Structure formats: C-alpha cells, structure tokens
Structure 1
Amino acid sequence: MSLTALGVQGRLYDVLSGADEAHDEIALHRGRVLVMNRMMIDKDGRRLGSVTTLRDRTELAQLERELGSFRSSTELLRAQAHEFANQLHIGLALTQLVCRRRGGEVAVTNTADGAMFTARMSVGRLAMEVSR
C-alpha cells in the first residue's frame, strides 16, 4: 500500500518516502504525535538504504498536558493558602489587640473553612492556638 493511499502527507511523507533525513522531528498524523528519525546508510559512496524510526509520543504528550494542569492547580492552591494565611495573621493581630485591652481569652472562627484560632492572654503573654 502506498503512503498516499494511507493518507500520509507533509513532512511525514517527505521522511518516509526517503526525500529527507530527520532527527527527532515531531509530526502529527491522525491525532497521534509521532517522533521521526531517518538516517541514510551509505557504503563506499553508494546509498544502501535508510533506517527510519517512528515513536508514538501521544500518551506522553497527554501526560505533559495533564502535568501542566496539575501545576496550575497547585499554584492556585498555593495562592489560596497564602491568602488564608494573610487573613489569619490579620485576625490574630486584631485578637492580640483585644486581649491586650481587655485581658482574658478570645476565640475567633473563620467560617469560610472552619479554621479556628484561640488567643489567651495572661499577664502580658499571648498564647495562640490554631485548629481546623
């Protein structure tokens, strides 16, 4: 069966038909990601033929896209954790002010995720506890 009958075109056709050499070139064919290599074999100035390899990297390409997606999600979660920590520090600072002015114990709950911190004041010392 010919390459044309198989629907092979473009750079993939050039490499498979022997018109060109290739070194780790990427080609797309029928939704597959192929990595092509073609090396000509010569002996005593005579062309004997060529060696062509095609590696299907479709699944690897898909895994790379998924990894990129997971990295994006990880960055988003990191940013959210940072924002929460900022809010927690603000809440702790305000609690510290209340404890200094009034003395005693104050409990504050962040209703967004149920995190709770408790501040206890006793003779100029502030102890804080965070629980989820």
Structure 2
Amino acid sequence: MSATTDIPGMDRPIEAYVERWRKRQEAAYAYNRRLAQQARQDVEHIAAMLRQKFGVTRILLFGSLMTDRFSAESDIDLAVADLAPADYFPALAEAGKLTDFPVDLKPLEALAPHVRDRILERGEDV
C-alpha cells in the first residue's frame, strides 16, 4: 500500500519521491567518486613536480580526499617536507596549474606539533 501526502504538489505516492531522492544521492556519490579519482591522479602529477622542481623530500595527502567526503567543493590537502620558505608560493602556483581543484600546501616544518603529528600518523605518503 502506498502512502500519499497532504502536501500541495506532492500527488504521487511517497515511495516515488523516496526513489527519486535515492537515485539523486547515488548519482551525486558516483560523481564525487569520479572527482576524487581525478584529484588522486592530479596528486601524483603534483607530487612529481614538487620533488623534481622544488626538492621536496616527503609528501603526505590528508583531508577529504582520503575519505568518501570529497566533492566539487573540496580541495587537495598536501603536507610537504623540505620545501624552502622562498619556494612556497611558486610551488603552490605550479601545483595549481596541474589540477582544477584548489590546492592546500602545508610545509610540515611550519605546522603546530599536534597538527604535524596527526598528519604524520594519519596521512598517506604520496
């Protein structure tokens, strides 16, 4: 038995609305998965560039790209070791050229100890 609502404009059974909502959620999830896949490919290119051009010795991915929460509004969070302070903005600019996503570049040496420790513990080496 289907239930209908007394809400104006909702003249179909409630199951039809639930099914449509479920399909939209599935489509959004699939879209976000494709975005995450692209972002992960971009991370590989960014990491190679940071090592070759700026001498970065370690790169850790952290943030939403490591979870299933990555979306079109997300950024790519990278912590880096041994990036010279004078190279920070040039490295950030070069990284931005390799992706359509915003890049958040964090020098490990400049982070508060508790933040650095958390990234070292939970981050993913790239």
Fold shared by both chains (TM-score > 0.5)? no
TM-score (norm. length: structure 2)? 0.43
TM-score (norm. length: structure 1)? 0.41
Greater RCO, 1 or 2 (C-alpha within 8 Å, sep 6+) = 2
Q: Which has the larger radius of gyration?
A: 1
Larger fraction in strand: 1
